[in-house]
Structure 1
Amino acid sequence: MYLGVTKPMLQLVLGAVLVFALFRVAGAKRAMVPGRLQYVGEAGYGFVRNTIGRDIIGSQDFMRFVPYLFALFFFVLVNNFLATIPFIQFPTMGRIGFVYALALISWLIYNYVGIKRHGFVGYFKLQTIPGGVSGPILALIIPLEFFSNILVRPVTLALRLFANMFAGHLLLILFALGGEYLLIHGEGLVKVVGPVSWLMFIAVAILEVLIQFLQAYVFVLLNATYIQGALAEEH
């Protein structure tokens, strides 16, 4: 009986379990001289805390957002890496609905903290009226800024991650299946292109690992940037 559970849905659960288990074990036996797993956990936390949280949001406000940024980064990263794991080989974030859900969470968080700090009217004023701009031009600027900063931002945030993961997956399929087809059905010199296609598959697979990391980093970096912009006193 079909229960409506798909492979990407199971991957979401698997990704969450893997992230929780890794850092739970890494922090279970903390020591002054860390072991390998503790070192990996501390290095991962320090990377998100300092490189993304403190450097982007600022030293005054960043700590309260570190748990969210830390969990988001490694959740997206693990789900991206699942695309290169044998017998899974599908990027969870290649399903746009999952990415939109993460973008919606981000949208709710940075708008909430902005409204909490500046008030409802003050926040939307900061988001729609650039500093130093006045006069009739505001009739054009305000709708554009509102559309860009409030409505479109979560859509572009989601599409950037989804498009990169989906496109990389399609490229791998193209080179792998294309090479197989040319070897089996090709004739003469055409068969030579089959191994070349597989070499391209290997090269793209290696490059894809780097892209999977970079896209997780960029996704969380933009989250931090939007939070910082919501907290800032001037747009």
Structure 2
Amino acid sequence: MNLLVPTATDDGEFHGPSLEEFFPGPLLFEGTAFEINRIMLVRFVAVIALLLVFWLGTRRMRVVPGRFQSLVEMGLDVVRVNIAEDLLGKKDGKRFLPILTTIFFMVLFMNITGIIPGLNIAGTSVVGVPLVLAIVSYVTFIYAGIKKSPANFFKNALFPPGVPLPVYLIVTPIELISTFVIRPVTLTLRLLMNMIVGHLLLVLFFSATSFFLFTMGGWWSILGVGSLAMGFVFTLFEILVAVLQAYVFALLTAVYIQLAVAEEH
């Protein structure tokens, strides 16, 4: 199966991107529990690349790091300093650093496949990975709260102290939905929708470029040059979105953990 984005069709008409691209046919093991399609293959590539980067960056650690080791350490410091320690402090930051680092780099590498030629779709553009990561974040939040205060975590979350008794009829359902339902849903949808929209826009611009240049020709080629330029601009923007979404996902996970281990719990 061709891993490249679709271009102009053979019937001479332009067809824009559709959601069908996120549900490709099987490539391997069709009809089995281990069926692999294009997006699953992209996810495997992203995970292998992630493991390879960290293996190469940490296999020969030096006191005076080389360029590649420095790059890896810089990425790790972004999570350690700007997310973990900044929100959770030294003690809890170190405690939850592995999960925050894993979330950040997994989201980053899954996102960045959306602009890599030959892959051209983010591993997070189908709900599976965003949902799993949101569940991991949610479970970590619950674990942190119960570990901090086994007896009072759920009580303080659902029945905030200092609220008049009758008001709990309104406050408790709101807290239940906002704290224990909305958080994993918003984490999932924020990441998923950003990657879907980014992919559709890139496919739209580059498909339009192919259509204007090779199907229409003539003066239409001017529009093809314009759509090509916009495609490159949005590719750069998609790189920014990929990094930003990884940062936001890890940051919100740290925020939820910080709320769970707050003193009032």
Q: Shorter-chain TM-score category?
A: over 0.9
Q: CA deviation at 1:16?
A: 2.0
Q: Which of 146, 162, 182 matches 2:192?
A: 162
**1:58 match: secondary structure:** helix
Q: Which runs of 4+ in 1 moved over 4 A?
A: 184-191
Distance in 2 (alpha carbons) for counterparts of 1:42 and 1:207: 25
Match of 2:158 in 1: 128
Distance in 2 (alpha carbons) for counterparts of 1:193 and 1:10: 34
Q: Which of 71, 74, 77 matches 1:40?
A: 71
Q: Deviations over 1:21-64 (max 9, x none)?
A: 21122111121111112111211111111111001122231111
Q: Which of 46, 49, 55 matches 2:80?
A: 49
Match of 1:98 in 2: 129
Does the Cα contact within 8 Å between 1:58 and 1:228 map onto a contact in 2? no
Distance in 1 (alpha carbons) for counterparts of 2:209 and 2:68: 40
**Which of 179-188 and 70-79 deviates more?**
179-188
Distance in 1 (alpha carbons) for counterparts of 2:141 and 2:162: 24
Match of 2:172 in 1: 142
Q: Which of 99, 114, 117 matches 1:86?
A: 117
Match of 2:252 in 1: 222
Q: Deviations over 1:9-28 (max 9, x none)?
A: 22222222222221122111
Q: CA deviation at 1:187?
A: 7.9
Higher fraction of helix: 1
Q: CA deviation at 1:138?
A: 1.4
**1:92 match: secondary structure:** coil
Partner letter of residue 192 of structure 2?
A: F
Q: Deviations over 1:164-183 (max 9, x none)?
A: 01100000111111232234
Q: Which ranges of structure 1 fall in alignment gaps of 5 or more residues?
A: none
**Which of 214-223 and 192-201 deviates more?**
192-201
Match of 2:231 in 1: 201
Q: Which ranges of structure 2 fall in alignment gaps of 5 or more residues?
A: 1-28
Q: Which of 92, 101, 110 matches 1:61?
A: 92
The alignment's TM-score, normalised by the length of structure 2, stands at 0.82
Match of 1:5 in 2: 36
Does the Cα contact within 8 Å between 1:15 and 1:78 map onto a contact in 2? yes
Partner letter of residue 215 of structure 1?
A: Q
Distance in 1 (alpha carbons) for counterparts of 2:201 and 2:159: 42
Distance in 2 (alpha carbons) for counterparts of 1:40 and 1:187: 45
Distance in 1 (alpha carbons) for counterparts of 2:158 and 2:89: 23
Q: CA deviation at 1:161?
A: 0.5
Distance in 2 (alpha carbons) for counterparts of 1:6 and 1:136: 54
**1:94 match: secondary structure:** coil
Match of 1:192 in 2: 222
Q: Deviations over 1:212-233 (max 9, x none)?
A: 1001110111111111111112
Q: Deviations over 1:86-115 (max 9, x none)?
A: 100111100112210111111111101211
Partner letter of residue 88 of structure 2?
A: I
Alignment length, in residue pairs?
A: 234
Q: CA deviation at 1:6?
A: 1.4
Match of 1:118 in 2: 149
Distance in 2 (alpha carbons) for counterparts of 1:35 and 1:91: 30
Q: Percent identity?
A: 36
Does the Cα contact within 8 Å between 1:26 and 1:37 map onto a contact in 2? yes
Does the Cα contact within 8 Å between 1:106 and 1:223 map onto a contact in 2? yes
Does the Cα contact within 8 Å between 1:54 and 1:63 map onto a contact in 2? yes
Distance in 2 (alpha carbons) for counterparts of 1:187 and 1:79: 36
